[in-house]
Amino acid sequence: MKFKGWQMVYTGMMMEFSVIGFIFYCFPLMFNALERDLGASQSQLSGALSIWFVSSAIASIFLGRLLDKFSIKKIMMIGGVIFSLGLFSISFVQSSFSLLLIYGTLLAVGGPALGNLSVTKLVANWFEKNAGMALGIAAIGISFSGVVLPLLVDPLIDLIGWRSVYIVFGLIVIFLLIPLVRYLVIDTPEEVGQFKDNLIEKPSEEFQDLMEIKDFFKHNIFWIISLAFAFQFLAMGGVLLHLPLHSESQGFLETWTVLGLPIKQTVLAYSIAALGGVVGKVFFGYLMDRLSANIPVMIMMAMQSIGIFGLTLIDNYLLFTLFCFIFGLGFGGAMVLMSASFLKAFGSQNLGSVRGISALIIVPVQPVGMILVGTAFDFNLYIESFLLMGAITLIGLLIGSRIIIR
């Protein structure tokens, strides 16, 4: 029988593409319409994603434990139903409060259950030696959605309106994603008589049993990984969410026509950053399988920081897009490196739990960047806030240099 592990990877890629694309990458494209129709401020709209990050991280504490104990396929299917309800609900909102509520509940639970948290656990069940590369390929969907969806959804908003766009998103989940999970996802290789990495026998693992939650906190490596990526996510979220607005502020306002589609300079720069993320996921996944964990983490953080400083200070569009790409290379590797670091440190049996419980450290830090930069935009201080995000990434680099797993 053909090895089914790559089937899990490509299925996970589709889930990542849709969940992060619908929640994150398409949301800034709606800002002007949401400000007009809901009377929302920039800081309120930034707050929707901040609330989603916080709420989904809290939900992940419980989802991670469930994923270590129960069927991944069933959790993904239930998550898909909840996620689609959230998308449909957004199309009917009449106030910014309703938008915040949906982002903090239905999308916060359904997103990680259908997307990254479940996909990470699924891929880790099928790969060990090549886990970094497999996780990187699966996570391509996260950044590839940022390349493709803004270019498609931006003109679609003008054509059918933002409310109808969310209905389309919900229909895609119901009629495409949930059936894919139903027919393609297999929880473990043992269910079909296979082993991780397509080996002929089961590989040995240091952590054979499910650890108690309290025991994670006794390991220094748990704190180091969590803090390093908390600072990285803080800086990445603050810059990426506001990149289209920053592009406008830099005067990149031209619109080109490509294959009959209108392509704005602001949207293209956003997509180029996401394209860097696609490359970064595979590149850093490859490095993670071959080097000590701290080395790819430090390279990733350095690229993110250089990219932030460059795109903040450059007013030439060609160079601006180059630094957007470098920024994308950096943040593209973050989720892969965090998951692979936890996998190396605690084994696949505990990956769902450790990813979930790390939210207790990451949650208080992660949304600060989005709130800070969103507020800075309202006070015309966003340049200073972008530079601060670059400096904060360097703090993550210093902490990440200690991620040494023996």
* CATH number for the domain that contains residue 358: 1.20.1250.20
pLDDT tier, 15 (very low <50, low <70, confident <90, very high otherwise): very high
pLDDT tier, 264 (very low <50, low <70, confident <90, very high otherwise): confident
**SS3 category, 90:** helix
pLDDT tier, 103 (very low <50, low <70, confident <90, very high otherwise): very high
* pLDDT value for 25: 81
* pLDDT value for 203: 58
On whether the CB atoms of residues 334 and 299 are closer than 8 A, the answer is: no
Euclidean distance between CA atoms 130 and 124, whole angstroms: 10
> What one-character DSSP code corresponds to residue 92?
T
Q: Is the model more confident about 255 or about 88?
A: 88
pLDDT (average), residues 176-197: 92
* pLDDT value for 35: 83
Q: What is the pLDDT of residues 282-317, one digit of tens each?
A: 899 899 988 999 999 999 999 999 999 999 998 899
Range of the domain at 236: 5-188+213-400
pLDDT (average), residues 248-259: 77
Residue 107 lies in a domain: yes
* Residue 400 predicted with pLDDT over 70: yes
* pLDDT value for 223: 96
What tokens does 318 get? 């060609």
Residue 204 lies in a domain: no
pLDDT tier, 121 (very low <50, low <70, confident <90, very high otherwise): very high
pLDDT (average), residues 152-156: 87
* pLDDT value for 51: 87
Residue 228 lies in a domain: yes
Tally the domains of the chain.
1
Rg (CA), the chain: 20
Q: What is the pLDDT of residues 373-391, one digit of tens each?
A: 888 877 888 889 999 999 9
Euclidean distance between CA atoms 373 and 380, whole angstroms: 10
pLDDT (average), residues 359-386: 84
Q: CA angle, 369 as apex, 276 and 403 as ends, to 5°?
A: 65
pLDDT (average), residues 241-257: 82
Over pLDDT 90: what percentage of the chain? 48
Q: What is the pLDDT of residues 209-236, one digit of tens each?
A: 778 888 899 999 999 999 999 999 999 9
**SS3 category, 284:** helix
Euclidean distance between CA atoms 113 and 63, whole angstroms: 7
Over pLDDT 70: what percentage of the chain? 96
On whether the CB atoms of residues 185 and 115 are closer than 8 A, the answer is: no
Average pLDDT, the chain: 88
* pLDDT value for 270: 82
> What one-character DSSP code corresponds to residue 250?
T
* pLDDT value for 163: 93
* pLDDT value for 201: 65
* pLDDT value for 235: 94
Q: What is the pLDDT of residues 64-74, one digit of tens each?
A: 889 988 999 99
Residue 196 lies in a domain: no
* pLDDT value for 284: 93
Euclidean distance between CA atoms 212 and 289, whole angstroms: 27
pLDDT tier, 328 (very low <50, low <70, confident <90, very high otherwise): very high
Residues 6+ apart with CB under 8 A from 130: 197, 289
* pLDDT value for 202: 66
Residue 157 lies in a domain: yes
* Residue 207 predicted with pLDDT over 70: no
* Residue 268 predicted with pLDDT over 80: yes
Euclidean distance between CA atoms 262 and 156, whole angstroms: 11
Q: Is the model more confident about 119 or about 148?
A: 119
* Residue 208 predicted with pLDDT over 70: no
Residues 6+ apart with CB under 8 A from 284: 132, 136, 296, 299, 300, 332, 333, 336, 337
Residue 201 lies in a domain: no
Residue 112 lies in a domain: yes
